[in-house]
Amino acid sequence: MILRPGELADAGPWAEVVAEASPYLVQDQESETHEMRHDPPGARRWVVEDAGRIVALARVVEYDGEDHASIRLMVRPGNRGRGHGRALLELALTEGVQRPTLHTIVEDDDDSRAAADRLGFELTRTFHMSAIDPRTLEVPPDDERVRPLSELDEQELWSAHNAVVGDDPSGLSLPISFEEWLDDWRDPRARPDLSTGVVEDGRLVAFSRMGAAGTRAWSDMTGTLPGFRGRGLALLAKRHTLAKAASVGIERCFAGNDDDNTAMLGINGRLGYQPFASPRLGVMRP
């Protein structure tokens, strides 16, 4: 076993580990290359090699203004139980974590929960993962208020993002700078052409963002600006986003919501999303 820092050349196998370890994350080599090149300051990556093959990974990020660090810790299913996760975590705690609390997402399976317990994570908040085949939905009627996000002003889109992130009760969605938002918008998975906004009187009032790789897609963010809520505008935007996804051959759209995010859980239920997993937030206080 070789434990070493993650490098740009690892983007392809890194994406493979993510795809094998998670049933819903949308990732490929191109998008992982972009993410590596635009890691925030202080981000650290490590991998485990076994017989010349990357079998496990860890990425630690500490965002300004947050009292915790976040770690993505993943091991290929066929290589679990060999201490790779513990080795990566110990290295991260030694070299890459300065905050008093460490957060991670623990997948909804017995192996992942048992591993989190052995490593010292306490399971707290629950997230609802759901999915839908957008090709099964009826195409919504045209609506002159609905516009592709690719046609809208980037500064306005960034402002809208920051106006709604506080609605996520998990605390995982954060306000970001315009530069950080642009890095995310330039990610190869970002699909402004499929993502939609609702515009009234020349102003963006609701939106639904989607990211995609291959035939899989992920709901990046859906929200309605304060003062325009309770009118079904987020539902309208997301319905059109799913229709666009179906039109380009996307077969599976995923969404993840905190257990307390009743508004989005309701929207996804009305659209026909079906729940399939309930991962948990793992919290460690080293």
* pLDDT tens figures, 261-285: 999 999 999 999 999 999 999 999 9
Question: Please, what are the domains in the chain?
Answer: 2-120 (3.40.630.30), 132-275 (3.40.630.30)
Q: How confident is the model at residue 89 (pLDDT cuts 50, 70, 90)?
A: very high
15: left (phi over 0), alpha (psi -120 to 50) or beta: alpha
The amino acid present at 97, given as its one-letter code, is V
Higher per-residue pLDDT: 4 or 23: 4
From CA 280, how far away is CA 106, in angstroms rounded? 5
The yes-or-no verdict on residue 24 having pLDDT over 90 is no
pLDDT on residue 175: 86
Distance CA 113, CA 55 (A): 19
How far from 63 is each of 20, 25, 35, 97, 139, CA to CA, in Å? Answer: 27, 21, 15, 11, 40
- Please provide the average confidence, as pLDDT, over all residues in the chain: 93
Q: What is the pLDDT of residue 203?
A: 97
Q: C-alpha distances in angstroms, 44 versus 2, 132, 211, 217?
A: 17, 34, 24, 26
- Cα 6 to chain centroid distance, Å, stands at 20
> Residue 45, class by beta-carbon neighbours within 10 Å (0-12 exposed, 13-18 middle, 19+ buried)?
buried
Helix (H/G/I), strand (E/B), else coil: 283: strand
Contact 224, 233 (CB under 8 A): yes
Indicate whether 201 pLDDT > 90. yes
Question: How large is the C-alpha radius of gyration of the chain?
Answer: 19
Distance (Å, whole) CA 224 – CA 266: 14
Q: Has residue 76 got a pLDDT over 80? A: yes
Structure pTM?
Answer: 0.84
Which stretch of DSSP H or E encloses residue 3?
strand 2-5
Residue with tokens 């009292």: 67
Q: Which of 6-10, 168-172, 195-199 has the lowest mean pLDDT?
A: 168-172
